[in-house]
Chain A
Amino acid sequence: MLSAELSTTLQDIAQTLGLESDQGKALSQFLAKGFPTSKWEEWKYTSLKDFNGIDRNWFPKGNSNLPVSADWAELIIRSSDAYLSIDKASSNDGIEVLSFDEFVQKCPEFQMIWANKNPILDQNSLYDLNVALCPQHTVIWIKKDVEIAQAILHQYQVNSTEKASSVQSRLLIYVEEGAKASLIEQQTSTGSADILSNFVQEIFVSKGAQFTYLKDQDFQQGVSHIDHTFIYQAEGSQVDTFTFSLNASLIRNNLHFYIDGPQVVSNLNGLYVPGENQLMDSHTVVDHRMPHAESNELYKGVLMGNATGVFNGKIFVRQDAQKTNAFQSCRNVLASTRATMNTKPQLEIWADDVKCSHGTTTGQLNEEALFYMRSRGISLAAARTLLLLAFVQEVINKVEHPVLRESLTEKIIAKIQQSVDLSN
């Protein structure tokens, strides 16, 4: 439960927002539940109990001037603090970046989609907190049949003040029929104060559209990042997600796919490399509601130091979703004796003509392989690095963009190497 002090502060904010407004209602819901603790089934290993007693700067102001150099990006969108401030480094007729109000005015047909979207599964109090405190969605609108040859870069940066703060952001992406685009999201932070970064993304991918969403989560220690990504896919669309969790005190990724049409393809890729005093938690849901769709999930983790990892992968195959192919694999290496990994695959299948499989493994590096490598002159540290790198490469190699692949590889090698050196 929230501390009395924090409760009072938030009640005051609710009053200001108006108790009957959507925001005020959401905040009341949050007040009733508080932050998740380990008593909540879905937060068993990721307790935010301590947050119930931390008063934060709930509306931090600030802006960032990020150095932008990405010649591979077609459009650069920067966001910082509570507001997604948009800065178009270049413009493209096929994309618009605007506020939610502007968007529904310009695109009235979206109101139907918005009103009929599936209810969110596992709605948690942090989602309510986001609705309450984030004033407005930012919308990225990718127009019909537009093909973005390069990528859209979104720089999501949270900045710290001296006081603990909370950053609530909300992004909506609408990919119209037949469009094709990739969004690369660099999630970073400045400063080292305690930040709660709570980010909601809702992505609507229309008929026949293709969308790739890559997150590079590389925060400073002190940041707790809660990421809620809801993806709604219409007939014949394909979505590929890549979630690379590199650094933060705590990362919780809720990634939910709603397969709302036939012939949909959903590919979920994830890689997490938590180290000393870091916790990384991936909760994924793939909800097969329509027939003839395919989902492939590949998550991998390397856990170093005293890190904690969590993977919970739910696959629902509803009665109407015949001829579904759903695959899930989660493999982990404990690169330290002090690290912990908790995995839980959860398949619920109501249809009878489907192919589903899942597998999770957690192990240590093969001692035999290490000796074999050492007997060829490779030092223990180098052998460990080589094996771990080979292990993570399977996910990295799926990234199409060579520049990105390289930079991710470099960052991950550096992190693994540092940990391997420390353990010697």
Chain B
Amino acid sequence: MLSIKNLHASIGEKEILRGIDLEVKAGEVHAIMGPNGSGKSTLASVLAGREDYEVTEGTVQFLGKDLLDLAPEARAAEGIFLAFQYPVEIPGVSTTNFLKSAVNEIRKYRGEDPMDAVQFLKMFKEKMAYVNIDQSLLSRALNEGFSGGEKKRNEIFQMAVLDPKLAILDETDSGLDIDALRIVAEGVNKLKSPNNATIVVTHYQRLLDYIVPDYVHVLYKGRIVKSGTKELALELEERGYDWIKSEVD
């Protein structure tokens, strides 16, 4: 599904990704771990198409398409979803209106007819159950005055509605208490299917107790320096990152 080869990316003069290689197949869950500043969030942002980063080398193929060639909105329409570490406040636009626009823009991209109000409502009701989200939250301006937990829950709700092929969760656990973490993780697990894949970017192992990865990759200084199974995450939890750093440095 996703094939990253020798990906280099910089912000300004500073090179942050220095040759990433990663293969993700449908049905898989990959965890990207690593110490602060290793490039985890940059990788997530580059995949979603954030324009602050310049890709200097390498390729990213997504379902046979050159992902790097597509605008952020086209990537979303092709099936990529980034759950933000810091979801942005959109004053004056309710979640409902926001998602109506998003769904219909994506349908337009795919050459499908727009959904009418009744179809929307039905779909919304179904998806609301996934993340146990309240109607009143959806009619408020998106993320405006939301608590950390509400913002993240809203991200997962958006993911449920947009039904992506590849979901990238960028530090979704940051700022969440254990109850909120569980609800968010349950939502992600319910959305998992043999046809889609998930990349979980996280600093701590905690989230991986709930979203169990098939593969764990350790990112350090812009490269994947170690890959393994979920046991690697447990080892990292126990021993920290220093032993990997010393292996590499």
Contact = CB atoms under 8 A, between A and B. Distances in A.
A318 to B, nearest CB: 36
Contacts of B125: none
B105 A390 contact: no
Nearest to B89: A369
Interface stretch (B1-9, B69-77, B173-181): B69-77
A371 B51 contact: yes
Given A369-B90, A386-B101, A375 B49 contact: yes
A374 B87 contact: no
Interface stretch (B33-41, B91-99, B188-196): B91-99
Given A374-B49, A375-B49, A378-B105, A390 B90 contact: yes
Interface string B43-84: 000001111000000000000000000011101110001101
Contact of B105 (A369, A372, A377, A387): A377
The winner among B76, B101, B162 for most chain A CB atoms within 10 A is B101
Interface in A359-401: 366, 368-369, 371-380, 382, 386-387, 389-391, 393-394
A390 B71 CA distance: 24
Contacts of B49: 374-375
Contact of A390 (B75, B91, B106): B91
B82 A375 contact: yes
Interface in B94-134: 97-99, 101-103, 105-106, 109
Nearest to B107: A377
B50 A378 contact: no
B93 A386 contact: yes
Given A376-B98, A379-B73, A382-B105, A371 B92 contact: no
- How many A residues are at the interface, by size bracket? 20 to 34
A379 B105 contact: yes
A393 B72 CA distance: 27
Contacts of B141: 390
Given A377-B106, A378-B105, A372 B76 contact: no
Contacts of A389: 92
B88 interface: yes
B158 interface: yes
Contacts of A368: 88
A364 B74 CA distance: 24
Interface residues of B, number: 32
B79 to A, nearest CB: 10
Given A372-B84, A372-B87, A377 B92 contact: no
Given A375-B82, A377-B106, A394 B92 contact: yes
B72 A371 contact: yes
A216 B81 CA distance: 42
A386 to B, nearest CB: 6
A268 B103 CA distance: 38
A371 B50 contact: yes
Contacts of A377: 73, 76-77, 102-103, 105-106, 109, 162
Contacts of A371: 50-51, 72, 88
Contact of A376 (B71, B76, B91): B76
A366 B88 contact: yes
A391 B90 CA distance: 10
A377 B76 CA distance: 5
A368 B48 CA distance: 13
B60 to A, nearest CB: 16
Contacts of B158: 376
A178 B83 CA distance: 57
A361 to B, nearest CB: 13
Contacts of A376: 73, 76, 81, 98-99, 102, 158, 162
A386 B93 CA distance: 8
A369 B88 contact: yes
Contacts of B48: 375
A165 to B, nearest CB: 41
A391 to B, nearest CB: 6
A298 B134 CA distance: 32
B72 A375 contact: yes
A247 B170 CA distance: 45
A373 B101 CA distance: 10
The winner among A369, A374, A376 for most chain B CB atoms within 10 A is A376
Interface string A132-161: 000000000000000000000000000000
Contacts of A393: 92
Interface in B132-163: 141, 158, 162
8 contacts: A371-B50, A371-B88, A372-B88, A375-B82, A376-B162, A377-B162, A378-B98, A380-B71
Q: Which 4 residue pairs spanning A and B have beta carbons closest together?
A: A390-B92, A377-B76, A374-B72, A377-B106
